[in-house]
Structure 1
């Protein structure tokens, strides 16, 4: 395979079939996790495995063996697209075709070239939308892509999902956090507990940095000392939300960036 957009797709350790791809392409009932792998390692591996296991239990009524997941990721990494070996963007989809309701869940691992790190500072466009069943990383991200494109068309880097009454939830493909003095404030609203967010929370606790969750509204944004977003590709400060310019000089912002960059990598 050649070309940056090429991907290797395996289901349970073998090449994906047309039937496999058709089920997922037609909006099949599934969930997934996505990670950046460097030299065969990724950040927050335990969080990824816990996410997959919990969602599989909720959607299919059975657990998912983390060692099986690791083995299938390693197998897929062993011969990915040209230029991809131990460095890659990896996605693990868990599904069970509707015509085999009593069968075991299946795992599709996709391997693509590594994703680029985000810009150091990004701008967000607030949109009225919250993901359904937001605690799951599930298939069906049309709205996120739609609003993300609208934001890009208006010169922003990503959409910020906002619920009733202006309550801030999450970015379209990120988690957002706010700085209040020496404390990190995470929005308390329906949202996915992202892996990078969980890793950063762990690092904050280890470093003795205070963090808490509480409702955050668009009307609150001018009171914060800064904001940031995280996802598997990295950490970025938020320079603006709509027309509001946010401070970029908070000492805690530099601390957060350093903690995010220094977080350990786990061997797959």
Structure 2
């Protein structure tokens, strides 16, 4: 399913997105028309639209188009992408009229097996914006997978941990949940967990990781997923706090789109 402003998207419009690749998006895991953290997703779309296009986004239209594109029953991953097909590489400075592209696909199973990740020095451009420009993240994910890992964990040049390729990272020490204090995309799953489980935010460096009891990744597609290794440092596949976070997340109330 792919619709632009509530009607089938044309090839020319998709070509504009593919060739110019300027826009932003949010993804939601939806079950029977409901999703967790809908206000956070909508706030992200409004904030990022101002950041990239300098205009307000009509969130009522977003919800209308999202509802229309959803399958009536079952679990799916719904993606709302905001871009302007009229803008191109040579005329990117024109007044923007962002359009709403909604796509959906079947959701995968949860929970997923633990991740093994490789640390790399990388900071995303406009880290706080969920941009469609994913070449940096995907290049590092590809290189990690080709060397036997599942994904990449980003740090800065001082080894300060920030985030994963398309997920937030958290750690556990002495029953305490710790989120890295660094420039990153604050995911809706992480924000929801912060609301229901006390946690701390502090600077985390790679040499600090040996002092933690567990590590985990979060996003809407994977929920809460254990990390079993960072580089050569092992972590347990399961941990009571990570299991508690997973349970808290799955029991969160959802919102009707």
User: Partner residue of 2:202?
Assistant: 214
Question: In angstroms, what is the RMSD of aligned CA positions?
Answer: 1.8
CA distance in 2, matches of 1:155, 1:203: 35
How far residue 28 of structure 1 moved from its aligned partner, in angstroms, is 2.8
Q: Establish whether residue 124 from structure 1 lines up as the match of residue 120 from structure 2.
A: no
| Correspondence list, 1:1-268, <5 A | 8-77=1-70, 85-96=73-84, 97-98=86-87, 101-102=94-95, 104-204=97-197, 210-233=198-221, 234-248=223-237, 250-268=239-257
Taking structure 1 as the reference length, the TM-score comes to 0.87
Report the Cα offset of residue 248 of structure 1. 4.9
Q: TM-score, normalised by structure 2?
A: 0.91
Encode CA deviations 1:9-38: one digit per residue, 9 max, x unaligned.
Answer: 111011111221011111332000011111
In 2, the alpha carbon distance for the partners of 1:62 and 1:31 equals 13
1:193 positional shift: 0.4
Q: Alpha carbons of 1:244 and 1:196: their partners in 2 closer, same or farther (altered >3 Å)?
A: same
Residues 160, 171 of structure 1: 8 Å contact kept = yes
Output the CA distance in 1 between the equivalents of 2:189 and 2:148: 25
Q: How many residues align?
A: 251
Give structure 1 stretches of 5+ with no counterpart.
1-7, 79-83, 205-209
Moved more, 248-257 or 135-144: 248-257
Which 4+ stretches in 1 moved above 6 angstroms?
Answer: none
Residues 131-158 of structure 1, C-alpha deviation per residue, up to 9 Å, x if partnerless?
1111000011012111112222223222
Instruction: Give structure 2 stretches of 5+ with no counterpart.
Output: none
- Indicate the SS of the match to 1:119: coil
Task: Answer yes or no: is the 8 Å Cα contact 1:228–1:237 preserved in 2.
Answer: yes
